[in-house]
Structure 1
Amino acid sequence: MLCAIICMEIYRIKLPGPPTEIGEEKPENQNHAIVFTRGEALQTIDMNQDNYYEEAFKMRNVLEEFRNRHSGRQKPTILGIREHIFTGSVSSLAWFMSNQETSFVTIGQRILANPLRVQFHYGHPDIFDRIFHITRGGLSKASKVINLSEDIFAGFNSTLRQGFITHHEYIQLGKGRDVGMNQISLFEAKVANGNGEQSLSRDVYRLGRRFDFYRMLSFYFTTVGFYFSSMITVLTVYVFLYGRLYMALSGVEKEILQSPNIHHSKALEEALATQSVVQLGLLLVLPMVMEIGLEKGFRTALDDFIIMQLQLASVFFTFQLGTKAHYYGRTLLHGGSKYRSTGRGFVVFHAKFAENYRMYSRSHFVKGLEILLLLIVYEVYGESYCMSHHYLFITISMWFLATSWLFAPFWFNPSGFDWQKTVDDWSDWKCWMGNRGGIGISADKSWESWWDEENEHMKHSNISGKILEIIVAFRFFMYQYGIVYHMDITHHHKELQVFGLSWVVLIIVLIVLKLVSMVRRRFGTNFQLMFRILKALLLLGFFAVMTLLFVLCGLTISDLFAAIIAFMPSGWAIILIAQACRVCLKGAKLWDSVKELSRAYDYVMGLIIFLPTAILSWFPFVSEFQTRLLFNQAFSRGLQISMILAGKKVTCQCD
Structure 2
Amino acid sequence: MSNQETSFVTIGQRVLANPLKVRFHYGHPDIFDRIFHITRGGVSKASKTINLSEDIFSGFNSTLRGGNVTHHEYMQVGKGRDMGMNQISMFEAKVANGNGEQTLSRDVYRLGRRFDFYRMLSFYFTTVGFYVSSMLTVLTVYIFLYGRLYLVLSGLEKSILEDPSIQQKQSLETALASQSVFQLGLLLVLPMVMEVGLEKGFRTALGEFIIMQLQLAPVFFTFQLGTKVHYYGRTLLHGGAQYRATGRGFVVFHAKFADNYRLYSRSHFVKGLELMILLFVYLVYSQSYRSSNIYLFVTFSMWFLVASWLFAPFVFNPSGFEWQKTVDDWTDWKRWIGHRGGIGIPVDRSWESWWEKEHEHLQYTSIRGRILEILLALRFLIYQYGIVYHLNISHHSKSILVYGRSWLVMLTVLLVLKMISMGRRRFGTDFQLTFRIFKVLLFLGIISLMTVLFVVFGLTIVDVFAGILGFMPTGWFILLIGQACKRFMMSIRFWDSIKELGRVYEYVMGMIIFTPIAVLSWFPFVSEFQTRLLFNQAFSRGLQISRILAGREDDSTSAK
Q: Which has the higher strand share?
A: 1
Whether the 8 Å CA contact 1:276–1:397 is kept in 2: the answer is: yes
The equivalences for 1:226-245 within 5 A come to 226-245=130-149
Q: Which residue of 2 aligns with 1:489?
A: 393
Whether the 8 Å CA contact 1:415–1:623 is kept in 2: the answer is: yes
Structure 1 position 331 matched with structure 2 position 235:
yes
Q: Which residue of 1 aligns with 2:558?
A: none
Q: Which residue of 2 aligns with 1:579?
A: 483
Distance apart, 1:459 and its partner CA:
0.9
Q: Which residue of 2 aligns with 1:340?
A: 244
Distance 1:553 1:303 in 2: 62
The percent of aligned pairs where both chains have the same amino acid is: 74
Distance 2:74 2:177 in 1: 45
Q: Which residue of 1 aligns with 2:183?
A: 279
Letter of the 2:434 partner, please give it: M
Whether the 8 Å CA contact 1:179–1:348 is kept in 2: the answer is: no
Distance 1:149 1:569 in 2: 36
User: Which range moved further: 398-407 or 164-173?
Assistant: 164-173
Distance 2:39 2:223 in 1: 43
Q: Which residue of 1 aligns with 2:298?
A: 394
Q: Which residue of 2 aligns with 1:297?
A: 201
Q: Which has the larger radius of gyration?
A: 1
1:252-287: per-residue Cα shift (whole Å, max 9, x none)?
Answer: 001101112234543332232221111100010100
Q: Which residue of 2 aligns with 1:32?
A: none
Distance 1:116 1:265, change over 3 A: farther
Distance 1:648 1:431, change over 3 A: farther
Distance apart, 1:500 and its partner CA:
2.0
Distance apart, 1:531 and its partner CA:
2.7
Q: Structure 1: give runs of 5+ residues left out of the alignment.
A: 1-96, 650-655
Structure 1 position 310 matched with structure 2 position 214:
yes
Distance 1:581 1:124, change over 3 A: closer
Whether the 8 Å CA contact 1:350–1:413 is kept in 2: the answer is: yes
Q: Which residue of 2 aligns with 1:61?
A: none
Structure 1 position 350 matched with structure 2 position 254:
yes
Structure 1 position 182 matched with structure 2 position 99:
no
Distance 2:49 2:170 in 1: 50
Letter of the 2:124 partner, please give it: Y
1:565-622: per-residue Cα shift (whole Å, max 9, x none)?
Answer: 1111111111111111111111111111011001100000000000000000000000
Structure 2 SS opposite 1:174: coil
Instruction: Report the TM-score when normalising by structure 1.
Output: 0.82
Whether the 8 Å CA contact 2:392–2:459 is kept in 1: the answer is: no
Q: Which residue of 2 aligns with 1:436?
A: 340
Distance apart, 1:238 and its partner CA:
0.3
Q: Which residue of 1 aligns with 2:464?
A: 560
Structure 1 position 499 matched with structure 2 position 403:
yes
Whether the 8 Å CA contact 1:479–1:565 is kept in 2: the answer is: yes
Q: Which residue of 1 aligns with 2:39?
A: 135
Structure 1 SS opposite 2:73: strand
Structure 1 position 425 matched with structure 2 position 319:
no
Instruction: Report the TM-score when normalising by structure 2.
Output: 0.96
Distance 1:494 1:274 in 2: 38
Q: Which residue of 2 aligns with 1:446?
A: 350
Distance apart, 1:519 and its partner CA:
1.5
Whether the 8 Å CA contact 2:29–2:55 is kept in 1: the answer is: no
Distance apart, 1:532 and its partner CA:
2.3
Structure 1 position 270 matched with structure 2 position 185:
no
Distance apart, 1:623 and its partner CA:
0.4
Structure 1 position 462 matched with structure 2 position 366:
yes
Distance 1:530 1:213 in 2: 72
1:271-320: per-residue Cα shift (whole Å, max 9, x none)?
Answer: 32221111100010100111111111100100000000000000000000
Q: Which has the higher helix share?
A: 2
Letter of the 1:552 partner, please give it: V
Distance 2:89 2:495 in 1: 31
Q: Which residue of 2 aligns with 1:367?
A: 271
User: Which range moved further: 435-444 or 529-538?
Assistant: 529-538
Q: How many residues align?
A: 553
Q: Which residue of 1 aligns with 2:319?
A: 415
Match among 527, 537, 548 for residue 623 of structure 1: 527
Distance 1:501 1:397 in 2: 37
Distance 1:604 1:101, change over 3 A: same
Structure 1 position 102 matched with structure 2 position 6:
yes
Structure 1 position 224 matched with structure 2 position 128:
yes
Letter of the 1:144 partner, please give it: K
Whether the 8 Å CA contact 1:335–1:460 is kept in 2: the answer is: no
Structure 2 SS opposite 1:486: coil
Aligned-residue Cα RMSD (Å) equals: 1.6
Distance apart, 1:550 and its partner CA:
4.1
Q: Structure 2: give runs of 5+ residues left out of the alignment.
A: 556-560
Q: Which residue of 2 aligns with 1:640?
A: 544
Letter of the 1:535 partner, please give it: K
Q: Which residue of 1 aligns with 2:446?
A: 542
Whether the 8 Å CA contact 1:113–1:166 is kept in 2: the answer is: yes
Letter of the 2:17 partner, please give it: A
Match among 94, 118, 124 for residue 22 of structure 2: 118
Distance 1:440 1:390 in 2: 55
Distance apart, 1:177 and its partner CA:
0.9
Distance 1:452 1:128 in 2: 40
Q: Which residue of 2 aligns with 1:479?
A: 383
Distance 2:369 2:135 in 1: 17
1:221-279: per-residue Cα shift (whole Å, max 9, x none)?
Answer: 11011001111110100000010111011000011011122345433322322211111
Distance apart, 1:110 and its partner CA:
1.1
Distance 1:345 1:260, change over 3 A: same
Distance 1:515 1:238 in 2: 36
Whether the 8 Å CA contact 2:135–2:229 is kept in 1: the answer is: yes
Distance 2:246 2:32 in 1: 27
Structure 1 SS opposite 2:130: helix
Distance 1:519 1:264 in 2: 62
Structure 2 SS opposite 1:165: coil
User: Which range moved further: 519-528 or 461-470?
Assistant: 519-528
Distance 2:84 2:460 in 1: 49
Letter of the 1:266 partner, please give it: Q
Match among 597, 607, 612 for residue 511 of structure 2: 607
Structure 2 SS opposite 1:172: coil
Letter of the 1:210 partner, please give it: R
Q: Which residue of 2 aligns with 1:7?
A: none
Distance 1:170 1:262 in 2: 66
